[in-house]
Amino acid sequence: MITAPTGRRSSTKRLASGPPGAAAAAASAQPWPSTLPEQVRAVAQLLAASPTPLPLPAIEAGFKGKGPWKKGLPRILDTLEALGRARREGAGWRG
């Protein structure tokens, strides 16, 4: 039996458009570590696990936590870059 198209949209949900890699990072968001060494390690691991460079919003989406932890993320990325554990690629970061 062949059915005619109804003109209705599919009921499947589409992911909101956002920075590349944000959906994957958000799907597996982990708690923001409490100590600086754990934070540096967690960000480095997130970058190393991504096949593409991650923009800052996608990195932020990879973690969940309360408080102003996002303010320190650029400094952690700069530190990882200085140590050779991360590098900027365009608007994103790669591990």
Kindly report the CATH number assigned to the domain that includes residue 84. Answer: 1.10.10
Residue written as token pair 């989406």: 61
With respect to residue 14, please indicate whether it lies within any of the assigned structural domains.
Answer: no
Domain that holds residue 71: 22-94
With respect to residue 29, please indicate whether it lies within any of the assigned structural domains.
Answer: yes
Number of domains in the chain: 1
With respect to residue 26, please indicate whether it lies within any of the assigned structural domains.
Answer: yes
53-87 pLDDT, tens per residue?
Answer: 999 999 999 999 998 999 999 999 999 999 999 99
CA–CA gap between residue 48 and residue 34 (Å, rounded) = 21
27-54 pLDDT, tens per residue?
Answer: 679 999 999 999 999 999 999 999 999 9
| Confidence (pTM) | 0.72
With respect to residue 15, please indicate whether it lies within any of the assigned structural domains.
Answer: no
Question: Within 1-95, where are the H helices?
Answer: 22-27, 36-49, 56-61, 73-82
With respect to residue 1, please indicate whether it lies within any of the assigned structural domains.
Answer: no
